[in-house]
Every structure is written in C-alpha cells, then in structure tokens.
Amino acid sequence: MTALQYLSRLAFFAGLVLTACAEPETTVITGPRGTPVSLTKSPPPPGNFVPSSDNPYFPLVPGTTFHYQAVTDEGTEFEDFTVTNSTTVVNGVTVRIIEDIVTLNGVITEHTFDWFAQDTQTGNVWYFGEDSEQFDPVTGKRIGREGSWTAGKKGAQAGIIMEGQPKVGDTYYEEFAAGVAEDQATVLSLKAHANVPYGNFNNCLKTHNFTALDPTSDEQKYYCPGVGVVLEDDNGDLNQLFSITKQ
C-alpha cells in the first residue's frame, strides 16, 4: 500500500461476487465492481519459491533502490523502495525483505517492510504481507500501523503482485487481509507508454488498481520491462520514478 493509498482509504466494503479461476484451491469471497477475480487459498509449496525475482515487470535484485517523487497538496513526497540483502520466513516461505520509506517535506511519514517471493514454476511474484508504520508529518510521532498484514495470520492470504505470463483482462488480488488490505489489479495493456523523469518507456504493462476498502480509488500503474514500476497515477496524483541506485 502506498502513502497515497493510505491517505485516501476509507474503512468500509463494497460488495460483489468473486469467481474462481483455473488455479487449484480457490475460495469464494466478495469483491468490488463485478470483476471476475481469483484468490488462491494458499500459494504453491514453499519449495517452489525463491526470495528474488527475474520477472521483467517486477525485478527484485538485492542492493537496488528505486527512488520516486510525487508532488502533493501537502508538499513534495519522496519514496525509496529498497530491495534489501535480507530475507525472512512468512507462512513457510523464504521471502525477500523490501524496505519502503516515504518522506514528506523531509519528514518520514511511512516506513514499511514488504515481503515478496517468486514462484519458479510460473514466474508469478507473490506478495506475503507488510509491516507498516505511519508517522505524523509535523511531529514525527507514530500514528498507526494501517495496512499491516501477514500471510497465514488472521485469515490473511498471499496475493500476486505480478504475473509470470500476464494477459490483458487478467484480474487478481495483490493482497488479501479482510478489512485491512484488499488491493486488486486488472491488466489493461501490455503496450503502454510512460514518460517519467527516469526515462521514456514503451511496451509497459499497465494496470488498473482498486480496492473494496475505498470504492473511490482509481489508480493506474505502469510496469516497464527490465525496470519495474515507473509510474503510479492515483486519481491524477503522480508518483514517478526519477532514479535507480545500486550498491
């Protein structure tokens, strides 16, 4: 969950029917906007996973930091998304730890550790949860842990952050912890163009991202081959990639 999503989320549900996909062990729950969505009860066996990713749309190379910038009504927001050299075990799977730090006008407003791993059989990159803290941009005091969840705890289930073989029209849960984290994505294009400070990109994967927890949410993300996320457009608020650094 990005800081932009955090500022806009409302704590209520919008309902509609979710249908099962061809994956084994699916569960039926309610989901937003009448879109057919699948949610697997559990990811593949732990032995299928590696704590990294060579998925071209979502590469995870330890020591890499993606730097983003957004101009908001409150000021300039910077986000540093770092693929750390550390791993941990979540729900039996060894996952890569990502450190995500958001600052507003130089003050930390969100500090998150995300957990990802890739299924070597399908190329899917799975999202196993996050440990997130939010801070008051004026006082710096911690004000919450909204959006935190862990796959395998309190009914939370891992989701797919990026498919190994994405197709236009695919819709899936990126995360699922009822009432806490229910982000979904629909693939809109595999030939999108993105122009950001880091560069101009073609043949990008574009998604529509939404959640039952905030029916007004209308975000689009651009994932470009060999790079990853270069642009997030949340109702006109742009979070853009401006540099990548490597250790």
Q: What are phi and psi of 33, to 5 degrees?
A: 65, 15
What topology is assigned to 3-246 in CATH? Answer: YmcC-like fold (2.40.360)
Among 38-47, 81-90, 143-152, 169-178, which is the least confidently predicted range? Answer: 38-47
Structure tokens at 226: 């060999």
CA atoms in the 13 A half-sphere facing the CB of 230: 23
Spatial CA neighbour of 188 closest among 167, 174, 215, 172: 167
pTM above 0.75, yes or no: yes
**Please, are residues 137 and 107 in contact by the beta-carbon 8 Å criterion?**
yes
pLDDT band of residue 42 (cuts 50, 70, 90) is low
Cα distance between residue 31 and residue 47, in whole Å: 30
Cα distance between residue 152 and residue 45, in whole Å: 13
**pLDDT: which is higher, 32 or 118:** 118
Name the residue ranges covered by the structural domains of the chain.
Answer: 3-246
Model confidence over 78-127: pLDDT tens digits?
999 999 999 999 999 999 999 999 999 999 999 999 999 999 999 999 99
Spatial CA neighbour of 211 closest among 203, 219, 199: 219
Q: What are phi and psi of 20, to 5 degrees?
A: -80, 150
In the chain, what percentage of residues exceed pLDDT 70? 83
Task: Kindly state the DSSP code that residue 46 receives in the 8-state scheme.
Answer: G
